[in-house]
Structure formats: C-alpha cells, structure tokens
Amino acid sequence: MKIKKAVITAAGGNQRHLPLQTLIDRDGARKSALRIIVEEAFRAGVEEIGVVVRPGDEKPYRDVAGPHAETLSFIRQDEPLGYGQAVLCAKKFVGSEPFLHLVGDHLYISSIERGCAQQLVAVAELEGCSVSAVQTTRESMLPYYGAVGGARMSGKTDVYKIETVMEKPTPTEAEQRLHVPGLRAGHYLCFFGMHALTPTVMEILERQIGADKSNKGISLSSALAELIKREQYLAMIVKGWRFDTGARYGLFIAQMALALSGKDRDEVLSQMLELLALRELSYIGI
C-alpha cells in the first residue's frame, strides 16, 4: 500500500494550544510545533495533511504553519468527544486510503538519518498493514500511554505482531497481559504517538462510537484492540524519541532535545555549561 495522507489530531482541551508554541528547530530556524510536526509528515512522503482542530482554531493554526499554510486541510471536531472521535472526524478526508496519524502534542526526533515517520511508513508499506510506532518504556510511565503486547516477527529485530492493546494499563495489568519476550523486566512497548493505519480503523471507530451510550468518548486504543481481530496489525520500535509537550516541562525538554540534536549543539552546550558554572559560583559566594 502507499500512504499519501496524514491526519494530525490537535483538538484536545489540554492540547490545542501546544502546536502554536514557537521553538528553535534542529536547523536553527524558529518554527511552531505544528510546522515541525507537519514537516515530519511530509518528510515521510505524504502529499496531503488534515489537521483536526476545535472550531475557531483554523486561523491561528494556519498562521503558524509557515510555508505549509495553504497545503493543509482543517477538519473540525465540533464537540470534545475523545481521541477516537477526533480521528474519526477525518474519515471523509481519508476516504478509502491508508493514512499516517500523528498527535499534535508530541515532537519526534530520530536517532538516525531517516525521520521517525519515514521509518514507520516504510514498514507499513512493505508489510501492507497497520503499524504503530512504539518505544520501550519503563512501567512508571504506563499511566501516560497506550501499550501493546505481542511477539517479535521472525527475522525482524524491531517489528512485533500485536496480540493485545491496552489504554494506560496499571503495572499489574501490564505484567499480566502485555508480555513481550526479550524486553527488560519492568519495561513495555508503549505507543509513540504515531501510527500508520488502514481505513478499517475508521470503520471500527464509527461502529464503536455509534454504539457508545456513555457519551464519555472512545479511545483509539479500543479500535486498535478490535483491529487485531480483523487484520494483521504490527508494532515497530522506532529509532528515535518522542517528547510529550503537554507534560510538565514538556516544551522545555522538547526544545533542549531539538537543540542538542541540531546544528547549534555545541553553542547550546557551551551556554549550558556557562549557566551551571555561574550557579555553582553563586552557591559558594563568589
């Protein structure tokens, strides 16, 4: 399959202003977080990007998209009915095609030349199925992420056939249901905030949301748990890191990560050492 479309969700109440924040990218240029995410998607070879936003946020998002402003399609999520419903809002935009999905409150930094989304899309197109990017994560972080269990595919070092999906499991639940042979004790495969998905996911979300009587919202993880029963679904450990900009100090940590992996690394390190030296001198009264 060929992935030509991407969907970025950015309508969450605690998330919607994060993509508007300005950072210094690895190339030294000032960019909004949205522009950095959009460029991550375009680097993976997609041709069209839809951004799911709250009504009224279209203009602020377009204003910070830089040279990509006119290439983006904005998709309204009229009511805050959860992550799964936000993805489903893009059903018409996606149509019958597979798509790359990224979240608007994460930034991604690859540890190799190929971008994180590039790595993911390459595996999805090769295997012809849905693939979720994952990262080995210690159990103390389980309350923040969806997680998967499964077995490594024969002949692959970083690709797993998913057998179980859970949304923010407890350590006890993870130990019982999310076993992955070969991982260190107390570590699990948690979602990276990036998925390559077939349109089957939209069908599942539409049915689940239609059947939901609680009106509390459906998670994407619940649809992915059902996807396992419908078709092959894989996980890939991405060579890189995800940074949740909505976490405490999240934007600061993401900015430091960008700086330390970019062209101004030496300058940033020098300034950090100078700052630490000044603080040390103040402690000893000089």
**Structural domains of the chain, ranges and CATH numbers in brackets:** 5-283 (3.90.550.10)
Which pLDDT score, from 0 to 100, does residue 172 have? 93
Average pLDDT, integer, range 209-236 = 89
Regarding beta strands 187-197 and 99-103, do their DSSP bridges make them parallel or antiparallel, or are they unpaired? antiparallel
* CB contact set of 253 (below 8 Å; sequence gap of 6+): 243, 247
Q: In angstroms, rounded to a whole number, what is the distance separating the alpha carbons of residues 184 and 177?
A: 16
Average pLDDT, integer, range 129-153 = 95
Average pLDDT, integer, range 157-177 = 94
Q: In angstroms, rounded to a whole number, what is the distance separating the alpha carbons of residues 192 and 197?
A: 14
Is 221:165 a contact under the CB 8 Å cutoff?
yes
What's the pTM? 0.92
Q: In angstroms, rounded to a whole number, what is the distance separating the alpha carbons of residues 76 and 19?
A: 16
Which pair of tokens denotes residue 216? 């509390």
Which pLDDT score, from 0 to 100, does residue 277 have? 83
Average pLDDT, integer, range 50-63 = 96
Convert 3-40 into a string of H (helix), E (strand) and C (coil).
CCEEEEECCCCCCCCHHHCEEECCCCCEEEHHHHHHHH
Average pLDDT, integer, range 209-214 = 81
Kindly give the interhelix angle for 250-260 and 33-43, rounded to the nearest 10 degrees: 50
